[in-house]
Chain A
C-alpha cells in the first residue's frame, strides 16, 4: 500500500501568515493527490485535486503543488475560517490512503 506522511502534525500560526503543509508519498503517485479541510464535527471538504487544481468555490488563497512523491498545500494569507485540520489523500491506485492530518491552530 502507498503510505502518505504529512508534516507538521500541528502548526501554530497567526491570521495573515503564509502557511505550508507537506505531504510525502511512499512511491510515485504522479499528480493523483487531493487536499481536504475538516472542521470539528463536520465532514471533510475537498480543496485541491490533481495536486494543484482548485475545487470550485474554494478561495484562491489555497494552492497546491508537487508531483511524484512530494506535495505541498499553501495558504497564502491565513484567515480566521482556515483554522482546521488538513488531510492529503492519494488516489493513484484503486487503494486510497490519507495522510495523518495537520492541525492548523491559532498562535
Chain B
C-alpha cells in the first residue's frame, strides 16, 4: 500500500540543525511532488515547501527561504527536510505529504516527526 514513513523524534539545542527523512513505498517516488508541513503545539498547519523528486527542484514558502533545504535520494525513495539555525519556536510536528499530481491536493501523509528545540 502507498505509505510515507518518517524518521523518529528529535531533540535539538537552539542554533543546531535537524534533518527529517520521509521514506516512500507503494508508488513511483519520482512521479509525485512531496510537500513538507509543520504544526507547532496547539497551532494550525503551516506549509513549508515542496520538492520534485524527479528533478530535485524545490519551492519554499517565503518564510523558510534560506533556512530550509529539501533534498531527495531516489535510490532509496526518500525525501529529506533540513532546517537550520533552530529556535525554540521551531518546536513542532513535521509532516511530509505526497502531492496527488496537482489535482487532488495532498493525498498521503507521513505519521509526523516531533522536533523539540530546547536548551
> Is there an interface contact between B103 and A1, defined as CB atoms closer than 8 Å?
no
Nearest CB on A from B7, distance (A): 15
Interface size on B, residues (CB 8 A): 23
Across-interface contacts of A98 in B (CB, < 8 A): 37, 44-47
A25 at interface (Cβ–Cβ under 8 A)? Answer: no
> Is there an interface contact between A50 and B103, defined as CB atoms closer than 8 Å?
yes
Interface size on A, residues (CB 8 A): 23
> Is there an interface contact between A95 and B61, defined as CB atoms closer than 8 Å?
yes
Assuming the contacts A49-B104, A91-B102, A91-B105, asked whether A1 and B62 have C-beta atoms less than 8 A apart, the reply is: yes
Nearest CB on A from B45, distance (A): 4
> Is there an interface contact between A95 and B104, defined as CB atoms closer than 8 Å?
no
> Is there an interface contact between B45 and A95, defined as CB atoms closer than 8 Å?
no
Alpha-carbon distance between A103 and B59 when the two chains are bound, in angstroms:
30
Nearest CB on B from A49, distance (A): 4
Alpha-carbon distance between A44 and B35 when the two chains are bound, in angstroms:
13
Alpha-carbon distance between A36 and B47 when the two chains are bound, in angstroms:
14
Assuming the contacts A55-B107, A94-B59, A96-B35, asked whether A44 and B102 have C-beta atoms less than 8 A apart, the reply is: no
B29 at interface (Cβ–Cβ under 8 A)? Answer: no
Against A, the Cβ 8 Å flags (1 = close, 0 = not) of B71-112 are: 000000000000000000000000101001011111101111
Nearest CB on B from A91, distance (A): 6
Q: Which 4 A-B pairs have the closest CB atoms?
A: A34-B105, A43-B109, A49-B104, A101-B44
Ordered by A's residue number, 16 sampled pairs between the chains whose C-beta atoms are within 8 Å are A36-B106, A38-B45, A43-B97, A43-B109, A43-B111, A44-B37, A44-B45, A44-B95, A44-B106, A46-B105, A53-B104, A87-B44, A87-B45, A98-B45, A99-B44, A101-B44
